[in-house]
Amino acid sequence: MEEFTVGDLRRHLKVFSDDTVLEIAGGLTFYRLKLVDDKVVFLEFNEAEAELSPKDRKNIQVAFMRIPDMDAS
């Protein structure tokens, strides 16, 4: 896997103003940035990774699922 660094992201974003809205393709919603090592940050989403069968894993790298809001009922 090719690394994508904070510096790479900054270079991509430097052409945009601070009030430009970022949207994530595929309907994912941003949750948080989580430091997991001195030089590794996870970009986390509100959606969980869905389980895929071995057959589906041949053609699908990852699938996400929405977790129902238990307080919304």
Residue 42 has pLDDT above 80, yes or no: yes
Q: Which of 25, 27, 60 is nearest to 46 (CA)?
A: 27
- pLDDT > 70? residue 40: yes
Cβ distance 66 to 47 under 8 Å? yes
**What length does the chain have?**
73
Q: What is the mean pLDDT of residues 64-73?
A: 65
Q: What percent of the chain has pLDDT over 90?
A: 42
N- to C-terminal Cα separation, the chain: 41
Which residues lie across from 40 on neighbouring strands?
A: 37
- For position 52, what pLDDT does the model report? 80
- pTM, two decimals, is 0.63
pLDDT of residue 62: 75
Q: Where are the alpha helices (DSSP H) in the chain?
A: 6-13, 54-57
Domain parsing of the chain, residue ranges: 6-72
The mean per-residue pLDDT over the stretch 5-15 comes to 95
